[in-house]
Amino acid sequence: MVLIITPNPALDRTMVFRGLRLGAVQRTDEVLVAAGGKGLNVARAALALGQPALACAPIGGHTGEQLAALAAGEGIAGRWHRHAAGETRTCVLLVDPDADDATALNEAGPVLSPADWAGFAAVALAAAEGAALCVVSGSLPRGVSPEALGELLAALGSAERRTLVDTSGPGLAAALAARPYGVKVNGAELGAALGRPVEGVEGAAAALAELRARGVELAAVSLGPLGALAVDEGGCWWAAPPPLRIVSSVGSGDALLAGLCAGLLRGLPLPEALALGVACGSANALTVGGGRFDAAEQERIRAGVALRRVA
């Protein structure tokens, strides 16, 4: 089982408009409401792959209860910590099938107190006892310091839980200082963490090598249409998808992470696990909704993924 710790969950409301225009009254008949936040997207994609997963998140108010009910309705197992800090945030995703990509309008969410976070961290650590792999995915709630994330990662490490982290900004800096088993980020997040732009495949490979030098065993970076790279003790690999017409990239990085984790838990070599992740992320970009993809589409894309070792 993979435990997916989601510090800042959301109720995602995805609305589809053709010819979307700001400043105008528009109506849509296509609306998708789902449990969201990066970690819930990872859990949804893992479920599509048949990978047992448990989502763990702090939730509050009526919105939080709706999120939990929607997750259960999809078959996503959840371990929830209920706080009194206010309503779980709602994020609105606007999709125009004729545009290049979706537009995300994300609420910041409630401010969690130290007691709220301590309660959630305790629930997450208890849930980790039965996990073969732990994932920490998404931003930190307001009121939670990066150091608090570092302490949670250190506790998971002390419990000998392999943990993969996907976050950004100060949270990523704190995660790197805690030296988790693995890190998965996008090119912009990695560049911000290292203080320099990460450009192209070779630049990404050099950046991942730096993460390895900092003590991270497995590091991966997604590069949008260029695919993704991953490195471990066996070397660095680049997986590139075939050309695709994107509908919405929302959740593609999360689907990639789910595929990578599923591949690792199946015992696949890193390049094959990476290729599975890239296929999942690419298939997600062809659909509306984070962490969703058609299984047949994913398999078709996987057959067209190009793999290359990078020096």
Active-site hit among 12, 116, 232, 254 = 254
Which residue type, as a one-letter code, is found at position 102? Answer: A
Which residue type, as a one-letter code, is found at position 284? Answer: N
What is the C-alpha to C-alpha distance for residues 87 and 89, in angstroms, rounded to an integer?
6
- The DSSP annotation for 151-162 comes to HHHHHHHHTT--
Is the Cβ–Cβ distance between 187 and 211 less than 8 Å? no
Strands 31-36 and 2-5, bridge-based pairing: unpaired
CA distances to 47, 103, 253, 254 from 190, rounded to whole Å, are: 28, 22, 14, 16
Q: Record the tokens describing residue 267, joined without a space.
A: 């015992």
Residue 98 annotated as catalytic:
no
**DSSP 3-state of 135:** strand
- The DSSP annotation for 3-14 comes to EEE-SS-EEEEE
Q: Which residues form the catalytic set?
A: 254
